[in-house]
Amino acid sequence: MSNLIEVSGIVKAYGGIKALNGCELEVREGQINGLIGPNGSGKTTLFNVITGYEKVQQGAVTFKGQDITNSTPDHVFGLGIGRTFQLSRMFPRLTVLENMLVATQREEGWLRGVSRLAGSHSERSRALELLDFVGITRLAYEPAGNLSYGQRKLLELASLLVADPDILLLDEPAGGVNPTLINHLADRIRDLNADGKTILVVEHNMEFVMGICSRITVLAQGTTLMAGSPTEVRSSPAVLEAYLGADEEEAALDAALREELEEAARSTTSSVSVTSEPGDRAPAAGGAATEEVLLTLSGVCAGYGGADILKQVTLDVPLGGITCVVGPNGAGKSTVMKTISGLLRPREGEIRFRGELVSGLTPKQVLAKGIAQIPQAHSLFGDMTVLENVEMGAFTVTDRAVVRKRLAEVQELYPIVRDRAHDKAGSLSGGQQRLVEFARCLMLDPDLIMLDEPSMGLDPQTRTMVFDMVAQMNRQGRTILLVEQNARAGLKLSSHGVVLENGQVRLTGSGHDVLTHPEIGALYLGGAVEAAGV
Amino acid sequence: MVFAVFALFPVVITDPTTTSIAFFALVFMVAAASWNIFSGYTGYLALGHAVFFGSGGYALALLTSHLHVSGGWPAFALLPLCGLVGALISIPVGLIALRTRRHTFVVVTIAIFFIFQLAAFNLGFTGGTSGLFLPLPPFSAANFNQPFYYVAFIILLVTLLVSWLVRRSRFGLQLLAIRDDEDRALGLGVKTRRLKLSAFMISAFFVAMIGGLYFDFVGQVFPNTAFDPLFDLSIALMAFFGGMGTLIGPVFGALVLESLQQYLTLSFSSNGTYLIAYGVLFLLVILIMPQGVVPGVRDLLRRRRPAAGGGTLAETDQPLAGAAGATR
Amino acid sequence: MTGTAFIEAVVDGILTGGVYALMAAGLTLIFGVMDIINIAQGIMVVLGAYLSFELSVHAGIGLLPGLLITVPAMFCLGVAIEFLFMRRLRDQDRTQMSILVTYAVAIVIEGILTAIYGVNYQQLSASYVNSSVHMLGFYLPDIYLIGFGMAVALLVGLYSLLYRTKFGRAVRASLQNRTAADLIGIDVNRVRTISVGIGVAVTAVGGMVFGATNAFNPNTGYDLISRLLAIVILGGMGSIAGAMGAAVFILVINDIVAVWWSPTWAPIVYFVALVIVLSVRPQGLFGRAAVRAQ
């Protein structure tokens, strides 16, 4: 079987960080090829490299045997490679039909293409046919900006088809799309494949990938981990490790865990509850039911620009514990935090903190209640010194004596704040920055600390240290709400676990129970959650 | 109807003051419409089109004197040549400026504009500060304005026709796509560089042509009037006022604002009044109709009569959900 | 060109560059916190000059004491403009829209000034405007020294405000990372309003010095804003230090070309330099490639 696209030895570095490091990829002609990998493994970067949006330092990309390394996007498209974007991109102020007519026809002279009236009958009817194929004909005369998130994905796909490309590169076609539409999309992709189109799809939704792909390539940290059939990929321990996170130091612990996992699979009395209906309150595990609750979300719907990311999220954060929210990319984990901290206003539902309503407050007001959020990496003010950054944490505190006292405490806890006080925060390593972020957050003496992926981009050793610090903050009596991509490490640390999928809570329970629940692997690597229902 | 009003205007109203206001309005209607072909469609805010306006004027002055062409109709015949000069100048300007995007592009166009203004002051062939004279047309005083008016009107019609053709072609669609998301357009095979430069040249062509006519009417071309920063801004404000990126919006904006300016300048001795009225009117439009008047009014009408024009999204969204989610 | 003339050109460039640096610092501060290019900055300098003129001619208040009135007045103007127009701009096309809006504001101000003062040129006068000191073989007008001194003092003041006070930290925080600033309880909107006020307030001082060293009329704003934009873009948008460096750089080049070749060609040289620099480095001489955390 011949390869349509071959990628070999690609190195792409931003500054010192290598996004792609010797990555290899073969795209089989006439098949649906999958490309998966954990967050930050370089999937989208690879797409950008193939389609000419990014230039590489090393390596080669060929299409039908022809070298297209470091080409330009318009040239690549002209050769017959069409792509979609992760956050679907179209032209919001053009109508849907106009969007369909933008693409330059292949093998058409530039001047001829340009001078042709955009509304010629054959082109229009072809465009309408394609809109009909994806199912949005009715919206043909609407401005594309009015479309819902899922409809945009469909439009983006259809607008590529106008030029009849040989291969479609789809970047997370199912991301943020509702299950019905996902099925619809999967059907369309299969139809296109049946029509002879080769497809390469990047996707976090494993069920989707495993369902439609015949061959899957797995990326991890910029290199190719393996390539094979869905069954091979699914059964590979290396892939599971890449996703769930593994640390060699705790290999022994892992062995114990595996035992427990098997035991849990046999056991019928798992205290983990699975919910499938939105809005259902997942009952808390066993004896924990009587625990005092610090924060509750009930039926929260929120999102950006009309599209809801959170669909009826209901969850409790028990007082004094560490609650870890895990789930695949795009499940809405970060959005939960933004909604709580007031960065995002919920469209529906309410959030209560100690019984008091906090939804709809400004970030400053939420902060005053004692809820602090540390956002995803790089939230320090890089041009300020470490000390300034930490002092900024107490921005809303006016009593200088209190600030001094807390600063002393924080310096005690995090010596780095004293040792590197006058260095620019931007000059610290990733792990050090995390600690300074923790220190800054503690300056307010919050009751609830929300951490958004504290281990992101850290090596295993630093990650362990960061998690130790999280546990330490918790021991000092602070309730922690943690969002973590590294599900295993996060849940191991936590007293409570919540699994979020597609903007809905799917599992809740103690951290241990959630971690050992037989479905957790399935949630990440695809598989039928429903089948394993309680 | 509108066409008839414009065509018959100088026949019905022969007062020279009024017809000269009408002529100035037409000049700016052309300028705004052609500015819109580039900036309105691509979203690249060019604030240096006075370069082409002035160049058109200088080109006509130099052509008539070197070729010994007399004023009036023979001079008018040279106008397309002026346009060509503008288009030629726009090539290096565009090649440099279009390397940048967004606000850097704006500043580069302003900088290039000042280079031209200063060059006009200092170069020998431009006549320096005193400028150049254009040949006097042999028209009688009473009917002096009419030929200028009709020539400007014809240029306007041609500009609008070209603008309409651009808007209707894939070329125009791709320009609008560049406005909405240039990188995405590139990924759909759109040759963005060539397209932007082509639109820039077309735009420069008409601005230079009407510039030649304008300075022929005025009779003299100085660096100050030829390369006037207020011109750069005025056409942008006019286009924006009426609705950038629409066919008729910029023309409408120019008609309203330029007539207002001429009227206020004539009614009040000071220039201040028109500037104030101009600025305030514009700011009001931005606050009330951030899209511009023409799209704003269109939206208003659509909202008032939801049954007409295909209905709103809310209505069409429902059936769609059924169609798209057939598997439901 | 003699050595003395060269040194004189450089010294002149540095002295006037200091004043331009101050005005440009205001412009770049507004861009930094708001993503807004204030085209009205040029006419505001002229407005500041007219205010000083009005106070000294009609109220008998000297140029320097007059600043106590003009600076707060310009601050209030800035706050009003931010409140009325700038914060209403949507995020989409924000920078480009801001150019049109502030240009319109500039037109209104120009119109008001034209209506009151006409288009005749004015110049501010005071005892120290026409006197000069003799040094290194050439004369330096006192007002250049005073202007430079004030500009330096104010830039140091602005610097201290930004780097030594709590408010300054809030400004820098909002500038670097809006989300993180929100999350530590900074009222980013208020910070922005005040920053715009400060950015506009410096034009009062700039206007006073400019008005004392140059003849001005309401049209002068265009020339000023084009130079300020050149400085700010060259220095890298949003970077105050960059604006200071670029201001001195441009003015020194301007003065050297003026002496060595011709004063009329001097501006062309730096506009050409600007165009060349920007087509090679769109982020400016001192600017970093724009990576703005959201």
CA distance C186 to C164: 17
| B contacts of A154 (beta carbons < 8 Å) | 324
Domains contained in chain A, number: 2
Evaluate whether C37 touches B103 at the Cβ level (below 8 Å).
Answer: yes
* DSSP designation for B136: P
Question: Does residue B256 belong to the interface with chain C, where contact is any CB pair within 8 Å?
Answer: no
Structure tokens at A467: 């998690």
Evaluate whether B283 touches C104 at the Cβ level (below 8 Å).
Answer: yes
Q: Quick one: pLDDT at residue A481?
A: 92
Q: Which of A379, A396, A440, A481 to mutate to probe the C interface, most C CBs <10 Å?
A: A379
Residue spans of the domains in chain B: they are 12-228
Rg (chain B; Cα; Å): 21
State the average pLDDT over residues A12-17.
70
Q: Quick one: pLDDT at residue C137?
A: 67
Question: Does residue B119 belong to the interface with chain C, where contact is any CB pair within 8 Å?
Answer: yes
Instruction: Establish if A182 belongs to a structural domain.
Output: yes
pLDDT tier, A29 (very low <50, low <70, confident <90, very high otherwise) = confident
| C contacts of B287 (beta carbons < 8 Å) | 85, 88
Q: What is the mean pLDDT of chain A?
A: 79
Ranges of chain C with pLDDT below 70: 1-2, 91-92, 127-130, 135-137, 282-294
Size of the A and B interface in Cβ pairs below 8 Å: 127
State the average pLDDT over residues B97-111.
83
Phi, psi of C126 (to 5 degrees): -160, 170
CA distance A102 to A118: 8
Q: Residues with Cβ < 8 Å from C47, sequence gap 6 or more?
A: C74, C77, C109, C113, C203, C207
End-to-end CA distance of chain C: give it in Å, rounded. 52
pLDDT in tens, A499-532: 888 788 888 888 888 877 777 766 665 443 333 3
Last residue of a domain, one of A403, A422, A445: A445
Is this model's pTM higher than 0.80 or not? Answer: no
Instruction: Establish if A26 belongs to a structural domain.
Output: yes
Q: Which of C87, C100, C102 to mutate to probe the B interface, most B CBs <10 Å?
A: C100
Q: What is the phi-psi region of residue C283: left when phi exceeds 0, alpha when psi lies from -120 to 50, beta otherwise?
A: alpha
Which subunits count as partners of chain A given 3+ CB pairs below 8 Å?
A: B, C
SS3 C59: coil
SS3 C179: helix
CA distance C256 to C270: 11
Q: Do C187 and A364 touch (CB under 8 A)?
A: yes
Lowest-pLDDT choice from A10-19, A338-347, A445-454, C201-210: A10-19
Neighbours of B35 (CB within 10 A): 30
Please tell me which of the candidates A378, A383, A393 has its beta carbon nearest to residue C184.
Answer: A393
Q: How many angstroms away from the CA of B145 is the closest CA of chain C?
A: 29
Q: How many angstroms away from the CA of A127 is the closest CA of chain B?
A: 14
CA distance A522 to A206: 9
pLDDT in tens, A371-385: 998 887 678 887 788
Q: Do C184 and A392 touch (CB under 8 A)?
A: yes
ipTM: 0.77
Q: Do B320 and A116 touch (CB under 8 A)?
A: no
CA distance A392 to A379: 12
Q: Quick one: pLDDT at residue A251?
A: 47
Last residue of a domain, one of A445, A462, A486: A445
Question: Does residue C7 belong to the interface with chain B, where contact is any CB pair within 8 Å?
Answer: no
Q: Containing domain of residue A199, as a range?
A: 3-244
State the average pLDDT over residues A256-263.
52
Higher pLDDT, C39 or A250: C39
Evaluate whether A165 touches A197 at the Cβ level (below 8 Å).
Answer: yes
Nearest CA in chain B to C221: B229
Domains within chain C, CATH numbers bracketed: 3-280 (1.10.3470)
- Tally: H helices and E strands in chain C: 12, 2
Instruction: Establish if A469 belongs to a structural domain.
Output: no
Q: How many angstroms away from the CA of A23 is the closest CA of chain B?
A: 23
Distances (CA, A) of A138 to A506, B318, B323: 34, 10, 9
CA-based nearest residue to A32, from A164, A189, A143, A187: A189
Q: Do C262 and B279 touch (CB under 8 A)?
A: no
pLDDT in tens, C85-128: 888 777 667 777 888 888 889 989 998 998 888 888 888 877 66
CA-based nearest residue to A438, from A423, A416, A456: A416
pLDDT tier, A112 (very low <50, low <70, confident <90, very high otherwise) = low
Evaluate whether A299 touches A348 at the Cβ level (below 8 Å).
Answer: yes
Structure tokens at C250: 């441009």
pLDDT tier, B210 (very low <50, low <70, confident <90, very high otherwise) = very high
CATH value at residue A40? 3.40.50.300
Q: Do A138 and B320 touch (CB under 8 A)?
A: yes
Phi, psi of A73 (to 5 degrees): -55, -40
Instruction: Establish if A232 belongs to a structural domain.
Output: yes
Q: Do C184 and A396 touch (CB under 8 A)?
A: yes
- Which C residues, 92 through 131, put their C-beta within 8 Å of a C-beta on chain B? 93, 95-97, 99-101, 103-108, 110-116, 118-119
CA-based nearest residue to B82, from B138, B120, B134: B134
Q: How many angstroms away from the CA of B311 is the closest CA of chain A?
A: 10
Q: Is the pLDDT of residue A533 over 80?
A: no
Percentage of chain B with pLDDT > 70?
Answer: 91
Please tell me which of the candidates C172, C179, C185 has its beta carbon nearest to residue A367.
Answer: C185
Last residue of a domain, one of A244, A264, A287: A244
Q: Do C103 and B233 touch (CB under 8 A)?
A: yes
State the average pLDDT over residues B203-227.
90
| A contacts of C165 (beta carbons < 8 Å) | none
Question: Does residue C83 belong to the interface with chain B, where contact is any CB pair within 8 Å?
Answer: no
CA distance A439 to A470: 11
Distances (CA, A) of A448 to A81, A299, A320, A468, A473: 49, 21, 9, 17, 10
Q: How many angstroms away from the CA of B28 is the closest CA of chain A?
A: 27
Which subunits count as partners of chain C given 3+ CB pairs below 8 Å?
A: A, B
Q: How many angstroms away from the CA of B282 is the closest CA of chain C?
A: 7
Distances (CA, A) of A516 to A264, A471, A485: 6, 20, 17
pLDDT in tens, B13-25: 777 788 888 899 9
Q: Quick one: pLDDT at residue C7?
A: 81
Phi, psi of A479 (to 5 degrees): -80, 140
Q: Quick one: pLDDT at residue A514?
A: 81
pLDDT in tens, A473-485: 888 888 999 988 7
Higher pLDDT, A282 or B109: B109
State the average pLDDT over residues A221-228.
84
CA-based nearest residue to C49, from C178, C177, C220: C220
The DSSP-derived string for B76-98 is: HHTHHHHHHHHHHHHHHHHHHHT
Q: Do C104 and B118 touch (CB under 8 A)?
A: no
Long-range contacts of C169-176 (CB under 8 A, 24+ apart): C169/A384, C169/A388, C169/A391, C169/A392, C169/A395, C170/A395, C171/C29, C171/C33, C171/C195, C172/A381, C172/A383, C172/A384, C173/A381, C173/A384, C173/A392, C174/C33, C175/C32, C175/C33, C175/C238, C176/A381, C176/A382, C176/A383, C176/A384, C176/C293
Nearest CA in chain B to A110: B191
Instruction: Establish if A52 belongs to a structural domain.
Output: yes
Helices (H), A282-429: 333-341, 363-369, 386-392, 400-413, 415-419
Higher pLDDT, A237 or B22: B22
CA-based torsion, A83, A87, A88, A92: positive or negative: negative
Question: Does residue C127 belong to the interface with chain A, where contact is any CB pair within 8 Å?
Answer: no
